[in-house]
């Protein structure tokens, strides 16, 4: 009875950028999370026009011209060689090479010495699929592991052939449609590429959580600026205000680990990860 009521309350609270979240930091087991608005950039009715070079994935791939992303690489290969087979694609190789078992491998596959950091063991005990909503997680490890059901994901391997082929087709279809008609997000219900901002001093990144195939196509097509929206809840992570980051406020990870994870969005382009797996 309590959880349906909690869902209803949170649906109302979202209008005010608030949410009741799980926590282990007080005796009640819950805290009120405030989601900050994006105030350092101007928007038009919630739509931001930003450089595509500022856009990143949830675990450090980049859409920058000098960066690497599996979808961007797949479409680039298709354009250059006109390959139309998933079997011969770099996407298949990516899914075969990158098969993280937990979040420590999602974030730090090639940097295992990072485990010396206090609190890193939390990532070892969270499933790989938790990356989809990582910065918004709350509660404890048991609750999260009971809630998240292991499944195939477009983010990494392993995937079966049919699933991989579908992601490949979506990449190519996005490229061909945007090449012909352009990027027209306002014409579709879920047309905008969406995600959340990460701010560090005077710089920022936009972490893409929805529209990954589309932005991969836009990057290959040489588009410099794209229109994006923020998610309905998590809108910005500010490195100067790490205590307010949902996963930190919930008590699940500490500020030291959060800073290391967030700094990497500014320091990585995805190229070193692809090189580590032998994909470039």
Short-list 164, 180, 265, CA closest to 217: 180
Partner residues linked to 48 by β-bridges: 228
- Is residue 51 included in any domain, yes or no? yes
Note whether residue 182 is domain-resident: yes
Q: Is 50 contained in some domain?
A: yes
Residue 175 lies in a domain: yes
Domain that holds residue 141: 38-276
Helix, strand, coil % in the chain, rounded to nearest 5? 50, 15, 35
Q: Identify whether 33 is part of a domain.
A: no
pLDDT (tens digit, 9 = 90+) per residue, 162-219?
A: 999 999 999 999 999 999 999 988 877 677 999 999 999 999 999 999 999 999 999 9
Confidence at residue 203, expressed as pLDDT on a 0 to 100 scale? 96
Short-list 127, 104, 126, CA closest to 115: 104
Tell me whether residue 21 is in a domain. Answer: no
The token pair at 5 is: 């009521």
Query: What pLDDT is recorded for position 251?
Result: 87
Q: Cα–Cα distance between 96 and 157 in angstroms, integer? A: 6
Give the sign of the dihedral formed by CA 36, CA 42, CA 45, CA 49.
negative
Half-sphere exposure of 95 (CA within 13 A, CB side): 24
User: By three-state DSSP, how is residue 185 classified?
Assistant: helix
Give the pLDDT of residue 149: 79
In a domain, 134, yes or no: yes
What is the structure's pLDDT at 189?
A: 67
pTM summary value? 0.88
In a domain, 26, yes or no: no
Total domains in the chain come to 1
Q: What is the pLDDT along the chain (280 residues), one digit of tens a residue?
A: 455 665 666 666 666 566 666 666 665 566 666 677 888 788 888 899 999 999 999 999 999 988 999 999 999 999 998 767 899 999 999 999 999 999 999 998 766 555 556 667 889 899 999 999 999 988 788 888 887 878 899 999 999 999 999 999 999 999 999 999 999 888 776 779 999 999 999 999 999 999 999 999 999 999 999 999 998 788 999 999 999 898 998 888 999 999 999 999 999 999 999 999 999 8
């Amino acid at each position: 009875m309590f959880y349906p009521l909690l869902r209803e309350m949170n649906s109302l609270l979202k209008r005010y950028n608030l949410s009741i979240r799980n926590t282990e930091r007080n005796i009640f087991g819950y805290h009120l999370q405030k989601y900050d608005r994006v105030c350092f950039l101007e928007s038009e009715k919630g739509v931001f026009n930003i450089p595509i070079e500022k856009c990143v994935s949830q675990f450090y791939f980049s859409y920058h011209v000098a960066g690497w992303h599996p979808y961007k690489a797949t479409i680039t290969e298709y354009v250059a060689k006109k390959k139309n087979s998933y079997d011969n694609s770099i996407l298949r190789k990516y899914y075969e090479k990158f098969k993280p078992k937990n979040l420590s491998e999602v974030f730090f596959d090639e940097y295992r010495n990072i485990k010396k950091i206090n609190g890193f063991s939390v990532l070892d005990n969270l499933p790989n699929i938790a990356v989809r909503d990582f910065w918004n997680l709350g509660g404890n490890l048991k609750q999260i592991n009971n809630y998240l059901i292991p499944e195939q994901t477009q983010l990494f391997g392993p995937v079966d052939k049919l699933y991989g082929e579908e992601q490949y087709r979506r990449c190519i279809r996005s490229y061909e449609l945007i090449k012909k008609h352009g990027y027209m997000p306002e014409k579709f219900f879920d047309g905008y590429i969406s995600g959340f901002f990460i701010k560090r001093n005077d710089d920022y990144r936009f972490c893409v959580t929805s529209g990954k195939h589309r932005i991969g196509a836009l990057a290959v097509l040489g588009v410099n600026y794209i229109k994006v929206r923020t998610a309905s809840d998590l809108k910005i992570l500010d490195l100067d205000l790490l205590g307010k980051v949902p996963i930190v406020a919930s008590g699940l990870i500490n500020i030291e680990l959060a800073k290391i994870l967030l700094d990497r969005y500014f320091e990585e382009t995805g190229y070193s990860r692809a090189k580590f797996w032998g994909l470039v």
